[in-house]
Structure 1
Amino acid sequence: MANRTAMIDVGGGFRAIYGAGVMDRMMEDHVHVDHCYGVSAGSANMVSYISGQHGRSHTFYTQYAFRKEYASFDSYIKNHNYANLDYVYGTLSNHDGENPVDYEAFEKNPTGFTVVACNADDGSTKYFDKSDVSYDNFDIMKASSAVPVACEPYVIDGVPYYDGGIADPIPVQKAIDDGYDRIVVILTRPKDTVREQKKDIGPATILKRTHPEAAEKLMNRYQTYNDEVALAKEYEKDGRVLILAPESMYGLNTLSKSFEGLERMYRAGYAAAAAIPAFLGS
């Protein structure tokens, strides 16, 4: 019986260009999976992959991301959002935008799509699916990419959401439970990097004033991430998971970047993708 195949992209702000490199190589090699699980910026990579738009994500990271409308302190002062999610997933991506999603191709592709977000009110994990995307409506990616404190929560149907990375950063157990037995996991930190709590303490303390449940998730994100990497490694031992991860972060982090670092991260992802066809067919 053929394997049921899936791919997880954990995102990670500008580091997520690593996944863009992976998926551009997959498109060139005509490698398909049955289901995509996207977290934060990883979900945007996957929309371009499902719609078959080679190079589209690379353009966002290496060209548009340097515009102040895309992500800047100007944007934070003006919109209370460091990353202007409406600009990224609306102005640029809608049918009349500068680089529109090929929505018809996205919709026709049978590949399933799950996007992870965190309910800002109660801290629960929300799994959106492909049916929640519609023509010129990519709100679920905005919800999944709303980094706490750097962004306001993104509201869908009256419910505020934050970045999926604080709820289920590497949804490998979700993919296993959904019945997939060959799962490519795209990390954007080196595989053996242990995430620490210290960077989340300040933002979580601020967040606690307005969204205490989400703040608790943020405070514990380091442990959730580390536990899920460990779980992915266990599944990798028995052949169900292939972890792709860069050897370095090339000076990138969630909200800062350099053109050289972005290009190096992209090339690293592109090269790593060579391992995927044999794994999916094993």
Structure 2
Amino acid sequence: MEGGGMRGWYTAGVLSVFTNNKITFPVVYGISAGSINALSYISGQSTEESIRVLIKYTDDKRVLSTENFDKTGSAFGFDFMFGEMFHKITPFDYKKFFESPVRMEAGTTDMETGKAKFFGKEDMDDSFTVIRASCSLPMISNIVHFKGYNLMDGGYSQPIPIERSIEEGNGRNIIVLTREASYRKSMKPEIDSPTLHKNYGEYPAFIKDVLHRPQVYNNELKLCADLEKAGRAIAIRPSQPIKIGRCENNPEILWKIYQLGIRDCTALLPKIYAFLKA
């Protein structure tokens, strides 16, 4: 499951369909927002009821705001999300998550090497530092220090974790994307070189990741398409463009994106069942 910021609500819709139809997999790989979605899916909480509550909080300043950035250096309120939200507002089922036989890996970027670094359940606790790292975008989030690594958003080293899955020996994959089939990234980097060198000059490999991300992302999209053509994957992707920014926080817009994920995945269910039985 790729990330994509608030486009991740599309993935939440897909996972609600999987949950409602009791479709499970031996292992789930998530990048950035995809890693957050993986938590709820494995704990059995990717339900419409839970999502409806969570979406109501997307315009809460404790979730995402300049105030958070001014106070903590991160626009995202990870302490609130993995604290009050996970413990009180929509209590996360830690027991079910950690006892589930479904393996999970969250992808991050090792800033020293520029390579993807994946972490499993054994690396997680109730603060979910690994997930925070997977979602920490440059310029609006702090570098996450964990187990001797300096980490940031996994989308800069492996935007779609399909290579990791293949590397682990999985010959057939269900891939959840948050861009429509025709989408390709512009070759213009989202952060310019001078800004990157000013803020991350001690991490040249990470700077290279950010500058080359459009090409890497487009190459991974091609890999997904090639796997589909070969009958080795099904890619679930938006049937129409999701025209929002990473930090969109309008609950009504996000609910529509969630519903799009439900519709698209539901339409593909016969194909998915046939693929899983083959």
Q: What's the TM-score once normalised by structure 1's chain length? A: 0.89
Matches of 1:87 and 1:158 in 2, distance apart? Answer: 25
2:174 is paired with a residue of what secondary structure?
strand
RMSD: 1.9
Structure 2 vs 1, CA of residues 207 and 249 (structure 1 numbering), >3 Å: closer, same or farther?
farther
Is 2:68 aligned against 1:72?
Answer: no
Q: Deviations over 1:109-131 (max 9, x none)?
A: 11110110001233221011121
For structure 2, the residue ranges without an aligned partner over 5 or more in a row are none
For each residue in 1:43-87, what CA deviation from the matched residue of structure 2 results, as whole angstroms up to 9, or x when unmatched? 111110100012376246511221001001111111111112222
Query: Given the superposition, is the C-alpha separation of residues 55 and 138 from structure 1 closer, same or farther in structure 2, using an over 3 Å criterion?
Result: farther
1:22 to 8, 14, 23: 14
Indicate if the aligned counterparts of 2:189 and 2:210 stay in contact, CA closer than 8 A.
no
Matched, 1:272 2:264: yes
Alignment of 1:69-148 (within 5 A): 69-93=62-86, 96-134=87-125, 136-148=126-138
Distance 2:199 2:91 in 1: 34
Name the count of aligned residue pairs. 271
Find the residue that maps to 2:190 and give its secondary structure.
helix
Residue 176 of structure 1 is matched in structure 2 by 166
Quote the offset at 1:225 in angstroms: 0.6
Distance in 2 (alpha carbons) for counterparts of 1:222 and 1:278: 33
Q: Percent identity?
A: 29
Equivalent AA in structure 2 for residue 90 of structure 1: G
The answer for the alignment partner of 2:219 in structure 1 is 227
- Show the 5 A alignment for 1:241-256: 241-256=233-248
Which aligned runs of 4 or more in structure 1 are off by greater than 4 angstroms?
Answer: none
Counterparts of 1:251 and 1:81, CA distance in 2: 24
Cα 1:267–1:196 shift into 2, 3 Å: same
The offset of 1:278, in angstroms, is 2.8
- Indicate conservation of the 8 Å contact 2:10/2:261, yes or no: yes
* Larger mean Cα displacement after TM superposition, 64-73 or 79-88: 79-88
